[in-house]
Structure 1
Amino acid sequence: MHLAAHFPGVNATTVWADPRSRSQIDFSSFVHLARTAERGKFDFFFLAEGLRLREHNGRIHDLDVVGRPESLTVLSALAAVTERLGLAATVNATFNEPYELARRLATLDHLSEGRAAWNVVTSSDAFTGENFRRGGYLDRADRYTRAAEFVATARELWDSWTPDGDSRPFAHDGEQFTISGEFTVPRSPQGHPVVIQAGDSGEGREFAASAADIIFTRHGTLEAGRAFYADVKARLAAYGREPDDLKIMPGVTVVVGDTDAEAQEQAYEIRRQQVSPQNAILAAEQLWGRDLSAYDPDGPLPEVDPVVDSGLVKGRVLHGDPFAVVARWRAISEAKGLSLRQTVIETTTRQSFIGSPRTVAAELTAFVDERAADGFILVPHLTPGGLDDFVDRVVPLLQESGAFRSEYSGSTLRSHLGLAEPVWKG
């Protein structure tokens, strides 16, 4: 299996109130998690992106992280303190340009001697676009059109240098970009940085099948994972690709205890920390699109209907139809006798893998064996020590069983992932 480490950031997973939690912007935090992942022989270290501080009811959301450094800068520094670990940056294809981003990624690939990766994300969000001169003009239907041409253009730039080190002029004339000139960075050690895509929509799956090396998903159950895996892998043939050309890696959380029972107790306490009374009201307001500050988080669910596109919460993505989600929450609350806060805990924060080291290792292995995933991107609940237990207690069992590498066999990220170097297209 393949394993990656996600640096905790702006999400409901991170427990900032834990006394062991440290800074999300201090370089030592990045170093700790990256070195832990490399000690565990992980494939890569993954940074998310946030281009604007989230707002709630017209104010900066004070339960969020308010600082998030630029990913490629952090990873360039980490290249100097790691040796084999892949370095993956999330960079938006909507608010960047191919020439400059291709140059920055190629530079990271050289600095790290072939360990760079780009997680391609898109945005049609005018709220985020307000931080950029052209604003959020991009129609949602066009975001993957731009992203696909962006990736193709970046690859043209990377291929404008031959494997022998000769530079050739480039010229691209498309619907999204018209550029020409000479690229300033020689062909990198991997040929191209690894491309990651995060998305679950039909458009996102098709984009991944056509252009990505890894797809980052959010399917945590075996059944959902198998369905997603089969669907995406079946799309590859249309682009002349083999099933192993695209690695499917869901983001997962893990709680490890001495026994399964102890791990369950720890998981319950973590969920309570993740969903404070304030966070429970926030989650409900995001879903209902209403000010619910008058409601008791330990009382029943609001009896009112949701308001669609109210603009109360900005910078967060709501998955699914709010009326359907509210109906599901109400059914769960009524069936189990849960308060609002308990319902939020039940529906939004369930850990993916909980148990003793041996239980967790067996369940991870089963996911891969049953074709629900090719590996996992671990999202710890603590910064920066949230991976320590997993690396110290679970990884040795995976290595012992032969499910995971004991040593790196190559030096580039492509070699870790079993991906061939791209054929040069001169």
Structure 2
Amino acid sequence: MTAGQGRPRKRVHLAAHFPGVNNTTVWSDPESGSQIAFSSFRHLARTAERGRFDFFFLAEGLRLRERGGRIHDLDVVGRPESLTVLAALAAVTSRLGLAATVNATFNEPAELARRLASLDHLSGGRAAWNVVTSSDAFTGENFRRGGYLDHADRYRRAAEFVEVARALWDSWPAGGPPRTVGHRGPQFAVEATASLPRSPQGHPVIIQAGDSDEGREFAAATADVVFSRHGTLEEGRAFYADVKRRLAAHGRSPADLKIMPGATFVLGDTEEEAAERAAGIRRRQVSPQTAIATLERVWGRDLSAYDPEGPLPEVDPVPDSDLVQGWAHAGDRFGVAAQWRARAEERKLSIRELVIELTGRQSFIGTPATVAAAIDEFVQADAADGFILVPHLTPGGLDEFVDRVVPLLQERGAFRADYEGGTLRHHLGLPAPRGTRAAADGELAAPGRPS
């Protein structure tokens, strides 16, 4: 059912993902700038705020990626720590939400709860935490306890981590001294007293990305925003319906959770120009070296002798290979390789052409008018509540979207003309944290309509 079929038009939510080290960024472009200079973060954040976006999103890697013991080419320039960058951005923005990716596997609840509460105070209620986990021993080597967690234990630890953090955020009532939080669980034994009073939002907004059944259930129980990855309207609607359906079992309503897939965009004055630009950008995103490196993550063996414009290797993957470190594991290497071979043979694709197809995100390609209409269609069709946009250029890649697409979304009545509230929860139309005094007395209650 769309807005014209009996319900009010839904508001589109938009966020900006800083295009740091990932397979979206085109570093060879003359307009590409530094991924660690504060001027780059400031430019993109201010552009997002000028466009009235909900929040600015930073990814994070705890260890530089390696191939055969050598640092990955893109990582040699460095990867800043998220909360440090966002604390600095809090001083040069006034309404934009600030979302940090922080690992729940290799941090501790009391310490991270304090850091996030500090950002929420400094920013006037604009902090968010993207909860991620890690299961690889390569990352674990950076930390005292080392090792790794089994896949299922990652989510158990994350859920208990969020539980302890929320208890600490709730432990300092208005007008009274803080209560000591005593927690004993499978993952944590904590006896702590919060060092800060309740922050402006009560709790920072919780973001989660995970498409497994465990990830979806964790999101339904815990998250305020889901950063998903689904490429078609049909896939998006299926994911949206599944996750929203799970909320009731946790005493939550569909409005309590926003689903915002990651997406790229390419604009042109005509559809043909946009399609041509998009094809060129994809080939620059997936260079010959990148295509081979992507294949090596699945095959687990040195494939540098293979022609990226040629067919996939006939050799089998190497199980339990440590050639490539720091990327998400392929899981069943043999199964993935078989799927890739079948797709390449069916479509007559080279290595590079296959990687271009497989690694592309949801992308909006066209004139500003067609892109605005497509984004609005996804939201009105309940395939998403909005999108986290990932430009291909650092730091100016969002400028064109803000200048040319946002005004058209505003004309359609699908996007705010200006901010109406000060906190990120207000921007997203989220309720106050359950069980808090703020929820009971309306102090942080969400508005009737998102700003």
TM-score range, shorter chain: over 0.9
Q: In the alignment, does 2:267 pair up with 1:256? A: yes
Q: Deviations over 1:140-191 (max 9, x none)?
A: 2211111111101001101111133542222222222222242111100001
- Aligned partner of 1:274 in structure 2 is 285
The answer to whether the 8 Å contact 1:218/1:250 transfers is yes
Cα pair distance change 1:327/1:17, threshold 3 Å:
same
* The one of 418, 422, 433 aligned to 1:422: 433
The answer to whether the 8 Å contact 2:102/2:131 transfers is yes
* The one of 277, 281, 302 aligned to 1:291: 302
Letter in 2 for 1:143: R
- Aligned partner of 2:21 in structure 1 is 10
SS at match of 1:408: coil
SS at match of 1:38: helix
* The one of 229, 240, 253 aligned to 1:242: 253
- Aligned partner of 1:91 in structure 2 is 102
SS at match of 2:295: helix
The answer to whether the 8 Å contact 1:221/1:352 transfers is no
- Aligned partner of 1:74 in structure 2 is 85
* The one of 329, 333, 342 aligned to 2:344: 333
Q: In the alignment, does 2:401 pair up with 1:396? A: no
Whole-angstrom distance in 2 between the partners of 1:59 and 1:327: 28
The answer to whether the 8 Å contact 2:125/2:422 transfers is yes
Cα pair distance change 1:359/1:324, threshold 3 Å:
farther
Q: In the alignment, does 2:335 pair up with 1:301? A: no
Whole-angstrom distance in 1 between the partners of 2:50 and 2:389: 15
Whole-angstrom distance in 2 between the partners of 1:353 and 1:79: 30
- Aligned partner of 2:39 in structure 1 is 28
* The one of 157, 168, 171 aligned to 1:157: 168
C-alpha displacement of 1:289: 1.5
C-alpha displacement of 1:320: 5.8
SS at match of 2:93: coil
Q: Deviations over 1:261-320 (max 9, x none)?
A: 101000011011111111111111112221111111122221222223312211111456
SS at match of 1:119: strand
Q: Deviations over 1:125-153 (max 9, x none)?
A: 11000000100242222111111111010
SS at match of 1:4: strand
Whole-angstrom distance in 1 between the partners of 2:203 and 2:175: 15
Deviates more, 1:158-167 or 1:86-95: 158-167
The answer to whether the 8 Å contact 1:10/1:65 transfers is no
Letter in 1 for 2:83: L
Whole-angstrom distance in 2 between the partners of 1:88 and 1:99: 19
SS at match of 2:396: coil
5+ long unaligned stretches in structure 1: none
Letter in 2 for 1:252: A
C-alpha displacement of 1:324: 3.8
SS at match of 2:73: coil
Cα pair distance change 1:399/1:65, threshold 3 Å:
farther
Deviates more, 1:236-245 or 1:333-342: 333-342
The answer to whether the 8 Å contact 1:37/1:85 transfers is yes
- Aligned partner of 1:139 in structure 2 is 150
Whole-angstrom distance in 1 between the partners of 2:61 and 2:311: 33
Q: In the alignment, does 2:128 pair up with 1:117? A: yes
C-alpha displacement of 1:217: 0.8
Letter in 2 for 1:113: G
Whole-angstrom distance in 2 between the partners of 1:75 and 1:407: 22
- Aligned partner of 2:370 in structure 1 is 359
Q: TM-score if structure 1 supplies the norm length?
A: 0.97
- Aligned partner of 1:177 in structure 2 is 188
Whole-angstrom distance in 1 between the partners of 2:206 and 2:125: 13
C-alpha displacement of 1:326: 2.9
Whole-angstrom distance in 2 between the partners of 1:264 and 1:295: 29
Q: CA RMSD in A?
A: 1.5
Q: How many residues align?
A: 426
5+ long unaligned stretches in structure 2: 1-11, 438-451
Whole-angstrom distance in 2 between the partners of 1:240 and 1:423: 10
Letter in 2 for 1:282: A
Whole-angstrom distance in 2 between the partners of 1:332 and 1:122: 31
Q: Deviations over 1:236-273 (max 9, x none)?
A: 00010001101111011111111111010000110111
The answer to whether the 8 Å contact 1:110/1:188 transfers is yes
| Percentage of identical aligned residues | 74
Deviates more, 1:303-312 or 1:232-241: 303-312
* The one of 36, 49, 56 aligned to 1:45: 56
C-alpha displacement of 1:61: 1.4
